[in-house]
Amino acid sequence: MADALIQRREFPQELTFLGDGAELWRAVTEDTGSTRFSRPRASDLLLEEHVPQLLGLLPPGPVPVLDLGPGTGRPAEGLLTGLLAAGRFGGYHAIDISPELLAMTAARLSRAFPAEAGRMTFTHGDFRETVPAGGARLVLLTGGTLFNAADPGLLLRHLAAHLGPGDLLVITARFDTLGRAPFRAIEAAPPLPPSHRLGLDLLNIDPDWYDPERGFDPARHEVWSGARLNRPVTLHLDGAHGRRAVDLHTGDLLRLYWQLFLDRTAVDALLHGAGLRTSLFQIGRVSDVAMIVSSSDITGTQGTNMTKR
């Protein structure tokens, strides 16, 4: 953490998925009862509403699901409902580096599908290091997990090397589907959501000491949110090499959340560079959320499609 703050003025984003951060992410993705579709809900529905299209890209028979970074399990719940209704459910295996999020997924799916509990496995681990072998599976990378990675291209190459014959890699994320940046380069932002503010709270940085900002970095193709300090702050952090002081200055921008925001051409190039080929690009109910399906060995596809609900 100290290195990230000193060298890049960033709070390590992966820490927001652990401990208390997991509960904040759960709150972000839960239904509020509003009729307005949130971005997380639109992402979940892409899987739930397009089970027939996904099954049409797979050979007949039971379909195993490998869920890499399942979050709270919401994205998978609708998909599994559809697979069970079609008589095509072939088991579910989730892998997550966050034990808290993995426990939430296990609780949600075991509650939703008690009769299938014996065919569901939940593994605490890092899928960036190993991916179970298989074939003719749906391999899920949902909710922006791909673009949260430090090097999405490297992650895709790693996954492509472990995809079996007929496996489909299903990605849901926020994409540039409209051909324009969502924000200016830097602009004042509304109050930070709890999941973005978590890093500041953990560092005991008072909300009165900063002003929220957000923006779009065209060079890095990233949307981001952060905090502009309005006073100097000195942090004392414990680490592997002892206690370190981190001096932050008035005007410093601390980046708290960032994610790639790519258009269709850039996404296709990223997949192609990993040896993957796109078979389906489906825009969701929120226009900048989409599902992209790819494989290194696509079977049963009728060609590449791009559709909007």
Asked if 86 and 53 count as a contact pair (C-beta separation under 8 A), the reply is no
Q: What is the mean pLDDT of each run of 10 residues along the chain (309 residues)?
A: 85 63 55 52 85 95 96 92 97 93 94 97 92 89 88 94 92 91 92 84 92 95 95 88 90 92 93 95 89 74 42
Asked if 268 and 293 count as a contact pair (C-beta separation under 8 A), the reply is no
Query: What span, in angstroms and rounded, lies between the C-alpha atoms of 25 and 281?
Result: 26
Collect all residues with Cβ–Cβ distance below 8 Å to 13 and sequence separation of at least 6. 148, 256, 257, 258
Asked if 205 and 237 count as a contact pair (C-beta separation under 8 A), the reply is no
pLDDT at 299: 41
Phi, psi of 162 (to 5 degrees): -110, 0
pLDDT at 293: 97
CATH class for domain 37-178+262-308?
A: alpha beta
Asked if 101 and 125 count as a contact pair (C-beta separation under 8 A), the reply is no
pLDDT at 15: 62
pLDDT at 69: 92
H runs (alpha helix) in the chain: 2-8, 20-29, 39-49, 51-56, 74-85, 99-112, 145-148, 152-162, 194-202, 264-273
pLDDT at 167: 94
**Assigned token pair, 192:** 């930070």
pLDDT at 304: 41
Q: Domains of the chain: which residue ranges? A: 37-178+262-308, 182-260
Query: What span, in angstroms and rounded, lies between the C-alpha atoms of 298 and 161?
Result: 15
